Structure 1
């Protein structure tokens, strides 16, 4: 199934290797489930439903109140409500989920990833209820869920383990002494952790205790267990993981490795298979070690064994085992041509592994996945919530149901998503919008295809990391392959440039100004779009204003890291009798002719003799609109004068408010004294009190949103005047958390 605009189209299945695997699997004697319940939401629920439908297996979705109208609910054969929006009251309620399974007659439960997917107690509850848990045995989940226990088992099985401490003494003082013994820098990790939660890299002894406290809070909130372990920090490490599969008959294989080294906040951004620059001998050693790890715990089903690899020596150490399907499983599907969800269902039904001989598993081409997330990259990748007012997938994109989906010639494009245009990204759950996967015969072709697909991916309504992913994919270091987990620390300034250094080029401002007037003229003349002149162009300007002044600024600049209202560009647009425009800006004049903007957002215009074809959307702006947002996609190359080679521009447009309205030298926070919340979330800890003097950058408050903690620093040195919230309070984005008064000299 593929998503095109607001339409879902059925697509045929898959590549020759995938078809071959289905033929082999059909020979299995065990009966397949007739109905399964999916104990998850969003993208992974939709992904599982697609495979189940192809196999003729009925599906039951579960949903919280926030997801009542979600895509996974619409796609499933039936759906059952399990509680209110917070995950603790819905998707983490194993009793509610099992009640839904019993009521619906589902024979098995697929947990997806996250939520209850690695919960040994839930697996046991499924067994007690007579429902098959589509995952590994309870014991394997329990053993691998504890990083300390897992490392001991791996060491006994001959799997290389990184030096550190993973014992029972959990006193703060003892852990600090152990950290000194292991040596700084040292990694603190939650024993039951995952997804980057409860994890900190500590460079010096002075920062150990505060990092330990933060890790304990995140671990307690995310896993109800605040035990910690310590690991020696591997210099120049790569994150390389191996997909393993095992059945109930003693067969176990690996489906090669993935490189997931590009990470922010210990969460993956780009993943690829196979890992670039790894020798065949190392690849074989990694796979063999991963299979030993699986067999050591009597594993069944899909699992991922994660390793830290020394970039220089290719020496690798066991990190952890994820006892579930990974977010990045599509890249493995694309290079093997296999459907891992189908493998999960068949193994859970007691069938033999479809391909039980390692030599029979194909490895073809190269695949790369980019996680498209709703987050503000310029604000330290803060997650955001909001409505997807526009969502357009790259041309030729298919949707996930195994390898080989999508039709792009040698380059295949696949998009796995659980949302569509008009849906909301909720504050209650992970901010991932979609996964963009590209497969090609070579890594170089795959990177080229990924960058093009990212340029084609259009989202309006909330900030995303699409531009960031494109910059990473085009960075010389990433192109060379073998980057370390410190990639963003080393190259952050190159892939996350400061908004203030990236003003939009003049032609972007000109085109955005004209797009605003075209949108406004349509709204003034024919608000219901009843005119036969549906293309928004010059003939209707006679009823509008002939000359307008507008102020435009980059959206990142207009809402910088501290919410500052920075200087933008003031323009004057004159509508000419012949249907053209003259745009004046900063003493320069630009002649515009042939400008049209159709109802779908396709725009053409000639600026100073150069023709532009692009997509443009204008949001929140009408005949008397005071402020709006313009987004331009220029997919045929960068605009003239753009040294950053961007193809996407997001600008805020307003009517000028008089002299001095823009260009203030002080930020909003400094001029008003208000420190606001950068996102909706919950106050975890208040670190400042009324009357206290604070330095610029000093931590004032800790917030939690979308499973992660975020620190709110002081934007300037001052005295705390008022603290508006206490620990446990919920806050909206923009809520005034603390007010400061500048220190008097």
Structure 2
């Protein structure tokens, strides 16, 4: 055929930026020109790679129109610069992208337009508008077209997606989608009921990677996933002037993991009214956007409610355009070319009647079935297959069309490219007849040598729900997968299927492939792929282990090595060739091993272990910025205040060499206001050090994993922006807190810092209040699950930092910096810092005035006070140790018999109960909690023979003489709930209480409910396996003593008393005065009345003595005070042991859903 200029018009070079079936389809329409209203001829220019010299789309054009790409594999078709260069060198008029590859690349379309070439498709500005799913959704909203709720803005961050997931409800699903491209790539459904918000993280990262690989654009967004929906798409045609029309709709509900398998036109689901409504929405958007060329507008449709929701637009021709062509008689590719030539819709309509086609609903139904070279595995995964066709006889007959690049037997399917092998398109008068024809066509398609999904498709198109078009939706294939997979075996073995099977044929082909000549061997390919490099040639001598080829497979480069020495006699494959697993790369004559073999080791092995590659050097240099030596000026100010650095605190706290750090490369979200150099020097780590370590490892003989000494670590770094909480800082907190919830363990948190950070300007367009951060809820969840935490307040701890501190089970506070520090800072803690207080109009205060040590000591905010961070580290380790379990070794050097004389002889003389505790406890094992408040009780932790226990004791040194007021009850409750929540230890009680405080003053403190909560806390403690070991050492009066003893004198594991103990329902003197008021009033003589009163009191004391109460069974026994320690130790050995909650949950006994 002559391509010279003719009288009828010009000849235009048309570079087809695609391959295979897509390229062939464009060539077919281009060959129809000139048309009556388009007097031009097209000269198709076909591009190809080295491995495709005999591909159908290449052989379909003359040799001078075949253009070799410089690259290999799919990446060659994404090389926009090379493609445009080829087009210009060969005098092309325009570029037709087809579908896939660069068809929706805004960058490529702009480059084509800038090069003076015609882009056969929607112009670049429309690709940007309609190809970007977020901007398309915004256009839909502007046009009043319904859309599903989703993330806002141009690109969704992980935080945005997680926030959206939390907003839709835990029982719903969301779908994460790539902003660009289509074909189901970069798309994943997240079932929040199954995986929770946490599951969105992995899906987000997976979609990002896939989108980046497929479309060179890793941006994603999320929207609510609609269950039981049908997938409807409308074919739109526009000329860019505002003229738009439609060519009806297609239904694509039968899909696998968002990749379409079967398409139907028109939809058998929509009635005329529903179709009109959906098409109207598409036309609104296309008209508003002045759409030009072909495009598809996709919707989700709910048959039950007849609602539809815009999903996305595809500004290109679709794979399934074929069925629209079949029902309308319009050549869509020819329409594309005419619009690219500048024709308006009325002009095109004169020859193709395109406008008339939209007025009358089609009377035919067409179905397209995609046959892919892939294998369905029983678990639902799909694996791309390759190989060579043994037989290829597509179906024929009326109403049957097959679009394919596999023109005959011998075709090689390359798994590196799209797996689409053939499209079977059937057209019939009705949906039912079309289904029947589809079934017949699949059965008559003889296809062997390559594993395909043909049998699975036959099972799908024969399923009763598909035949009747009932209960079909976008997840139908996933839901029915096992049934369909089982049924597909029937179609594989049916009489109409060719024999032998495809897989058997493939094996036979491999066995009959090229064989090595006699006396020679073949080096077979270990995998399928494309030969990216072939550094050897015929005649070369190769050694064992020598690199002989690089094969690109699954986006990775793999080294092929010689398995034995020899001389290459023949190269079977060339660079750029597509190869299958088991195919020979070359033949060689074996040779004896030579001395040079040892010298042929890979260069990587010969490198010195001490030699650092550039990438490793960069990482190590970056890590240096985290060390104190890199921040000398900041460290100097820190030392002047008398404080240690975060890294110094870390070294004091954790076992040497045990720390694994998370997020050390994080920087503040201030790239818009700081240079990278400044960010690195000022914000490395973003103000917090987090990770895992062991603490107190030497206390345990256990050395295997998991370590009982493991502990999560959070240490705020005041050197970085005053330890304030920024965006990535919070992501780090979320990471470690979630890690604790998934990997239960104790947590130590150093909370010093100034709270929320307003200066993270990178997020100003997508964040407002930042209240969607889960950090505080996650920390609270750690506490609620009973995983123990110890917090340290040091220096200034305000706002968000203080909130985390207060969530800790035990709070340690330092007095401040070292006393001799040049600019010593005192510790101060507040739920708001000075700036927040002043901003709220509440006054102007210095930081140290906000919440000084005395304030939080007296209100119970601090549990333990230590001089500096050095003692703070020791105390934190000691406290966390109680929750790690018993110690195998302990020391006890006290004399237990000292307890026989420790109590004053006078029953009203005060004494310090702490001396009794210290005699009972192991040496140096007692730590008092909350010494500055609730002074009628002493609470704390101690050890008995290495076993950790809680201690609750009455303190008669208090101003109330041991009577329990509201604050003392709250203090006791806090200890009991800690032990109950963590399930880590039992409780020892030393009771000397005259009861609860009463009277109007104390009623105003809320004792009515607080005292009741004291009883409830004790009851719950017992219900959850905690045991109370009660020892009454002197007074046990009324409800207060009952609460102390566990709820009653016998509602505990053991109830003993010392001989000095006395029991009564209330204070004895008061009880006598109340009970004997009339009798005493009748005695007129004052001395006689007093003597009578004393006699009654003495009698009550005698009755309330420990021996008498024990004899009546109200307590268990009376013991020798000198045997108290031994008595308690024997009791602990007989009570049911307690396994800390974090250890039990570590063994798989998790309660509640994972976050």
Partner residue in 2 for 1:370: 369
Match of 1:68 among 32, 53, 66: 53
Match of 2:13 among 9, 30, 35: 35
Contact 1:252 1:356 in 2 (8 A): no
Match of 1:51 among 29, 33, 40: 29
Matches within 5 A, 1:289-368: 289-353=281-345, 354=349, 355-356=354-355, 359-360=358-359, 363-368=362-367
CA–CA distance in structure 2, aligned partners of residues 113 and 107 of structure 1: 19
Give the deviation of 1:423 after TM superposition.
Answer: 1.9
Partner residue in 1 for 2:387: 386
Matches within 5 A, 1:590-629: 620=508
Matches within 5 A, 1:28-427: 34-55=12-33, 56-77=41-62, 78-88=65-75, 90-168=76-154, 170-183=156-169, 184-204=172-192, 205=196, 206-353=198-345, 354=349, 355-356=354-355, 359-360=358-359, 363-378=362-377, 380-396=381-397, 408=398, 412-420=399-407, 421-427=409-415
Contact 1:163 1:231 in 2 (8 A): yes
Assess, with a 3 A threshold, how the Cα gap between structure 1 residues 135 and 500 changes in structure 2: closer, same or farther.
closer
Give the deviation of 1:680 after TM superposition.
Answer: 6.2
Secondary structure of 1:87's counterpart equals: helix
Assess, with a 3 A threshold, how the Cα gap between structure 1 residues 216 and 296 changes in structure 2: closer, same or farther.
same
Higher percent of residues as helix: 2
Given the alignment of the two structures, is residue 461 of structure 1 paired with residue 446 of structure 2, yes or no? Answer: no
Contact 1:33 1:349 in 2 (8 A): no
1:267-315 Cα deviation digits (max 9, x unpaired): 0000010001211011111111111111222210000001111131221
Single out whichever of 383-392 and 167-176 deviates more from structure 2: 167-176
Matches within 5 A, 1:619-698: 620=508
Consecutive unaligned residues in structure 2, runs of 5 or more: 1-7, 34-40, 514-525, 532-551, 557-577, 584-1155
CA–CA distance in structure 2, aligned partners of residues 239 and 365 of structure 1: 20
Partner residue in 2 for 1:726: none
Assess, with a 3 A threshold, how the Cα gap between structure 1 residues 157 and 79 changes in structure 2: closer, same or farther.
same
Assess, with a 3 A threshold, how the Cα gap between structure 1 residues 358 and 47 changes in structure 2: closer, same or farther.
closer
Contact 1:369 1:437 in 2 (8 A): yes
CA–CA distance in structure 1, aligned partners of residues 209 and 226 of structure 2: 25
Contact 1:383 1:679 in 2 (8 A): no
Secondary structure of 1:212's counterpart equals: helix
Assess, with a 3 A threshold, how the Cα gap between structure 1 residues 121 and 330 changes in structure 2: closer, same or farther.
same
Partner residue in 1 for 2:479: 490
1:392-443 Cα deviation digits (max 9, x unpaired): 11133xxxxxxxxxxx1xxx10011112221211122101111100001111
Aligned-pair RMSD on alpha carbons? Answer: 3.3
Give the deviation of 1:706 after TM superposition.
Answer: 6.8
Assess, with a 3 A threshold, how the Cα gap between structure 1 residues 32 and 424 changes in structure 2: closer, same or farther.
same
Contact 2:256 2:475 in 1 (8 A): no
CA–CA distance in structure 1, aligned partners of residues 121 and 304 of structure 2: 36
Contact 1:260 1:270 in 2 (8 A): yes
Secondary structure of 2:51's counterpart equals: helix
Partner residue in 2 for 1:470: 458
Assess, with a 3 A threshold, how the Cα gap between structure 1 residues 173 and 125 changes in structure 2: closer, same or farther.
closer
Give the deviation of 1:499 after TM superposition.
Answer: 8.2
Give the deviation of 1:555 after TM superposition.
Answer: 7.4
Assess, with a 3 A threshold, how the Cα gap between structure 1 residues 97 and 266 changes in structure 2: closer, same or farther.
same
Assess, with a 3 A threshold, how the Cα gap between structure 1 residues 86 and 308 changes in structure 2: closer, same or farther.
same
CA–CA distance in structure 2, aligned partners of residues 257 and 500 of structure 1: 33
CA–CA distance in structure 1, aligned partners of residues 328 and 488 of structure 2: 41
Contact 2:228 2:475 in 1 (8 A): yes
CA–CA distance in structure 1, aligned partners of residues 28 and 492 of structure 2: 43
Contact 1:197 1:707 in 2 (8 A): no
CA–CA distance in structure 2, aligned partners of residues 422 and 488 of structure 1: 32
Matches within 5 A, 1:570-609: none
Secondary structure of 1:394's counterpart equals: coil
Assess, with a 3 A threshold, how the Cα gap between structure 1 residues 118 and 476 changes in structure 2: closer, same or farther.
same
CA–CA distance in structure 2, aligned partners of residues 210 and 732 of structure 1: 32
Partner residue in 2 for 1:479: 467
Give the deviation of 1:375 after TM superposition.
Answer: 0.3
Consecutive unaligned residues in structure 1, runs of 5 or more: 1-29, 397-407, 516-553, 559-616, 628-676, 683-703, 709-729, 736-745
Contact 1:334 1:439 in 2 (8 A): yes
CA–CA distance in structure 1, aligned partners of residues 400 and 493 of structure 2: 30
Higher percent of residues as strand: 1
Secondary structure of 2:69's counterpart equals: strand
CA–CA distance in structure 1, aligned partners of residues 163 and 148 of structure 2: 18
CA–CA distance in structure 2, aligned partners of residues 503 and 97 of structure 1: 42
Secondary structure of 2:121's counterpart equals: coil
Secondary structure of 1:186's counterpart equals: strand
Give the deviation of 1:618 after TM superposition.
Answer: 9.6
Give the deviation of 1:493 after TM superposition.
Answer: 2.1
Give the deviation of 1:163 after TM superposition.
Answer: 1.1
Give the deviation of 1:161 after TM superposition.
Answer: 1.1
Contact 2:245 2:358 in 1 (8 A): no
Partner residue in 2 for 1:587: none
Assess, with a 3 A threshold, how the Cα gap between structure 1 residues 139 and 196 changes in structure 2: closer, same or farther.
same
Assess, with a 3 A threshold, how the Cα gap between structure 1 residues 249 and 148 changes in structure 2: closer, same or farther.
closer
CA–CA distance in structure 1, aligned partners of residues 512 and 113 of structure 2: 60
| TM, length-normalised to structure 1 | 0.62
Assess, with a 3 A threshold, how the Cα gap between structure 1 residues 621 and 169 changes in structure 2: closer, same or farther.
closer
Single out whichever of 428-437 and 495-504 deviates more from structure 2: 495-504
Give the deviation of 1:229 after TM superposition.
Answer: 1.0
Assess, with a 3 A threshold, how the Cα gap between structure 1 residues 103 and 478 changes in structure 2: closer, same or farther.
same
Aligned residue pair count: 498
Assess, with a 3 A threshold, how the Cα gap between structure 1 residues 485 and 311 changes in structure 2: closer, same or farther.
same
Given the alignment of the two structures, is residue 449 of structure 1 paired with residue 437 of structure 2, yes or no? Answer: yes
1:462-510 Cα deviation digits (max 9, x unpaired): 11111111111111101112520111122212221188999969x999x
Give the deviation of 1:87 after TM superposition.
Answer: 2.3
Give the deviation of 1:66 after TM superposition.
Answer: 2.1
1:572-611 Cα deviation digits (max 9, x unpaired): xxxxxxxxxxxxxxxxxxxxxxxxxxxxxxxxxxxxxxxx
Secondary structure of 1:92's counterpart equals: coil
CA–CA distance in structure 2, aligned partners of residues 422 and 167 of structure 1: 50
Give the deviation of 1:79 after TM superposition.
Answer: 1.1
| TM, length-normalised to structure 2 | 0.41
Assess, with a 3 A threshold, how the Cα gap between structure 1 residues 32 and 445 changes in structure 2: closer, same or farther.
farther
Give the deviation of 1:178 after TM superposition.
Answer: 1.4
CA–CA distance in structure 2, aligned partners of residues 449 and 498 of structure 1: 19
Q: Which runs of 4+ in 1 moved over 4 A?
A: 30-33, 357-362, 498-505, 677-682, 704-708, 730-735
Larger Rg over CA atoms: 2
Contact 1:367 1:438 in 2 (8 A): yes
CA–CA distance in structure 2, aligned partners of residues 681 and 106 of structure 1: 29
